[in-house]
Each structure stands twice: as C-alpha cells, then as structure tokens.
C-alpha cells in the first residue's frame, strides 16, 4: 500500500520541522516547502526520505510548481499543514504597508494558495488540512497587529475551507500558545535558553509548550481517527488563555 503524502509549509524549523519528523516516523512521505535553504537542507538531511522544495508561498506560480513537483514525485497528496509564518512587532505608527503585506502574505495568503492548489488532490484522496494559527488570534500584546490579524484570518479561512471542501476534505486549525522552538532552529541560529521557573509556572500545566505538543495534535487531526472533526480550532497553550489574572 502506498504511503500517504503530506506537504508542510515552513517545515525547515520549529513546529514545522518537528511535525515533519513526527509524521515521517508514523510512515508518511513528507515534503516541506521552505524559503530558507539552509534550514530546508538541514531538515532534509536529518529526516530520511524527506523532500525539500525551495518555495516562496506568497508567489502563486511557485506554489503551483511545488504542488506539481510533489504529484510528479509521489502521485498523490493526502494532507497539507499550513505552518509557515512570522511576525513583525512594531507600533502601528511605525509599521509600513510593505511589512504588513509581508506578514499577511506569508501567514494568510500563503495558506490560501497552498490550499487552492492542493485541494483537487486532497479531494481525490479524501485528505485533510491543518492550519497552524496562534492564540494571538484570540488575545494580543501591544504592537502585534499584522501577526494577530493574519492568525485571526487563518481561523476564518479554516472554517470557510471546511465548508467549501467538505465532505471530501476535512480542515481544522491549531492555535499554539508559548512554544519553545529554540532547540529546533537551523544550526546557525540555534540557541540554548534556560527558562525561569516563573516562565514555566505561569502556565496552568506547569511548563512552557514544546513543538511535540503541536505535532501530536496535527498528526491526530490528519488521521482517520479525527474523521468526524472539521472546521474546528484547537488551542494548545497549557491553559494560558483560560487563566484569569488579577493585579
């Protein structure tokens, strides 16, 4: 029986990289779309059989070509994880339109483009999409307008796609909270950080999150075990968004 095939955007570092490794260990054929060639090559060398495609997901032609390359290589696509994203945190008076568009383009438009070109193949395989959103879709710190707006848009895109692509394709999202990805960055940027006891204990579960916490949920949502789940967002934040704070 042919292995299932998953595309993960931003799969060279952080949550994307750990998710790629998790799914590969479960028997998936994994392809990552990544603009950072250093990170992409490192991940490809670390995960046996992984396909790394250099792709700027804000560019429609690049996305289309990458999806076609995956089909040419494997003949199918069973899942898509829209993980690529970044933020630019500045006071709104200092945030340029170009910076706003860069964040929206990667975090939201990129997810739309990848979903658009994967959709016909996902319908054929009766597959699934998982969008990696953020608790910033629900709550904010100052100066996060572009990032928060992009992640809020991703939640709306999730339930819209679930309605448009169902019943053949299920679409869900995950909203991570504070996830420590420092040990899963590319070599040139990897840092060892010791978080304080207070950092951990402000989470009701008693610790900061790990990329494995997100990868496990993504794997579940892509599996047949989640066959009755679509259009939903799953907050994985150690309970932080449910914690009342009194000063």
Q: Read off the CATH number of the domain in which 96 is found.
A: 3.40.50.720
Per the domain annotation, does 232 fall within a domain? yes
Phi, psi dihedral angles at 174 (to 5 degrees): -125, 135
Listed range (122-126, 161-165, 181-185, 233-237) with the worst mean pLDDT = 181-185
pLDDT tens track for 87-109: 999 999 999 999 999 999 999 99
Is 195 part of any domain? Answer: yes
Domain with 230 in it: 5-242
Count how many domains the chain has.
1
**Active-site residue, from 117, 138, 147, 246:** 147
141 compared with 192, residue with greater pLDDT: 141
Residue 247 lies in a domain: no
Q: CB burial class (10 A; 0-12, 13-18, 19+) of residue 213? A: buried
Segment 18-44, tens digit of pLDDT: 999 999 999 999 999 999 999 999 999
pLDDT in tens, 107-138: 999 999 999 999 999 999 999 999 999 999 99
Query: What's the whole-number mean pLDDT along residues 215-233?
Result: 98
Query: Does residue 182 contact residue 193 with C-beta atoms inside 8 Å?
Result: yes
Going by pLDDT thresholds of 50, 70 and 90, the confidence category of residue 75 is very high
pTM for the predicted model, two decimal places: 0.96
| Nearest partner of 17 among 8, 25, 26, judged by Cα | 8
Q: How many residues does the chain have?
A: 247
User: Per-residue pLDDT for 235 more than 80?
Assistant: yes
Question: Which value, to the nearest 10 degrees, does the dihedral of the CA atoms of residues 33, 39, 45, 51 take?
Answer: 10
Residue 154 lies in a domain: yes
pLDDT at 183 over 90: no
Average pLDDT over residues 52-81: 98
Instruction: Judge contact between 227 and 200, C-beta under 8 A.
Output: no
Q: Answer whether residue 13 is part of any domain.
A: yes
The verdict on whether 246 is a catalytic residue reads no
3-state secondary structure of 138: coil
| Residue 67 placed within a domain | yes
């Amino acid at each position: 029986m042919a292995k299932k095939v998953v595309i993960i955007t931003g799969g060279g570092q952080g949550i994307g990289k750990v998710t790629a490794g998790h799914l590969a260990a479960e028997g998936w054929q994994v392809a990552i779309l990544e603009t950072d060639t250093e990170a992409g090559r490192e991940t490809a060398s670390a995960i046996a059989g992984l396909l790394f495609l250099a792709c700027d997901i804000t560019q429609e032609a690049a996305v289309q070509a990458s999806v076609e390359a995956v089909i040419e290589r494997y003949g199918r696509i069973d899942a898509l994880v829209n993980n690529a994203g970044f933020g630019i945190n500045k006071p709104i008076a200092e945030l340029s339109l170009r910076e706003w568009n860069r964040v929206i383009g990667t975090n939201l438009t990129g997810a739309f483009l990848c979903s658009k070109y994967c959709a016909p193949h996902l319908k054929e395989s009766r597959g699934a999409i998982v969008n990696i959103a953020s608790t910033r879709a629900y709550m904010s710190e100052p100066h996060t307008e572009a990032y928060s707006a992009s992640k809020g848009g991703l939640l709306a895109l999730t339930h819209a796609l679930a309605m448009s692509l169902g019943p053949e394709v299920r679409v869900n999202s995950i909203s991570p909270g504070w996830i420590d990805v420092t040990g899963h960055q590319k070599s040139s940027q990897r840092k060892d950080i010791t978080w304080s006891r207070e950092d951990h204990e402000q989470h009701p579960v008693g610790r900061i999150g790990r990329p494995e916490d997100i990868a496990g949920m993504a794997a579940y949502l892509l599996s047949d075990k989640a066959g009755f789940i679509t259009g939903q967002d799953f907050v994985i934040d150690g309970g932080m968004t449910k914690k009342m704070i009194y000063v």
